[in-house]
Amino acid sequence: MPDYDIVLLDVEGTTTPISFVHEVLFPYILDNVDRFLEAQWQDPTVQEHVRAIADQANKDAQAGIVHAIPIDLDTDTPEEIRQKVAVNVRWQMKIDRKIAALKGLQGYMWRFGYTGGQLQGVMFDDAVQAIKKWSADCKVYIYSSGSVEAQKLIFGFSDHGDLLPCISGHYDTNIGLKQESQSYTRIAEDIGIPPSRIMFISDNENEIRAADQAGFQTVVSVRPGNLTLTESAKKNYRLTSDFTELI
């Protein structure tokens, strides 16, 4: 039996190629956000996401962020609101911003892409093998900067079929930022298990460092297209490019 009870997985660069996120998922948003907002404008969920984007844009503008375009939901016309939302979405995506309002709208748009057959989640073969084996012996959770909804779509509509039955739970940045150790402490508390019994796997060495500081077991995912690791990370953390080695 493994010396851990929980496997906590990152997604981008860990279970899923970075290229899928940056060459498929992100372009889908950029190419479709204008049409999507116009076509789905009466959808109450879309309106919730629009309000969240507007609230964030107004806070950003007040904080002096030059690219932020304030949105007045009371006086702007629907067309003006849609245009401003799209502008705010694009500049935030350009800097790869990890923020709840943006991730929420992205996740909802991706749902239409997955269910409509335009998108399919991509998984590393060894990650799928390991997840299926882990789920029989312990529990697998996901922790990603992408929204919980986006996570469920990638795993639910994957190129290896529906993997959601293998996943016991999901966390996103609502639990905390991934490079802060207290986020991992909160996850351990929420699951109800000592940090030392959780193995966290990610391609990001700053996330690995934060999890390590919280007392987690850690493994760095080495995949094609991932950022080059520092010599310190190579020396101090376990590395793997094949998750079946960890079973």
| Residues 143-196 pLDDT 10s | 999 889 999 999 999 999 999 999 999 999 999 999 999 999 999 999 999 999
Q: Contact at 8 Å (CB) between 184 and 210?
A: yes
**Looking at 21-25, 44-48, 98-102, 129-133, which range is the least confident one?**
98-102
Known binding residue 48? Answer is: no
Using only the alpha carbons of the chain, give its radius of gyration: 19
Neighbouring residues of 167: CB distance < 8 A, sequence distance ≥ 6: 131, 135, 140, 141, 142, 155
Known binding residue 178? Answer is: yes
Same-domain check for residues 126 and 231: yes
Q: Which two tokens stand for residue 56?
A: 């964030």
**Which among 58, 85, 115 is the end of a domain?**
115
Residue 74 half-sphere exposure toward CB, CA atoms < 13 A: 0
The reported pTM is 0.90
Known binding residue 144? Answer is: yes
Known binding residue 12? Answer is: yes
Q: DSSP H helical segments within 40-162, as ranges?
A: 44-62, 78-94, 100-115, 125-137, 148-156
Same-domain check for residues 105 and 161: no
Same-domain check for residues 194 and 131: yes
> How many independent structural domains does the chain possess?
2
Same-domain check for residues 141 and 27: no
Q: Which two tokens stand for residue 27?
A: 């372009």
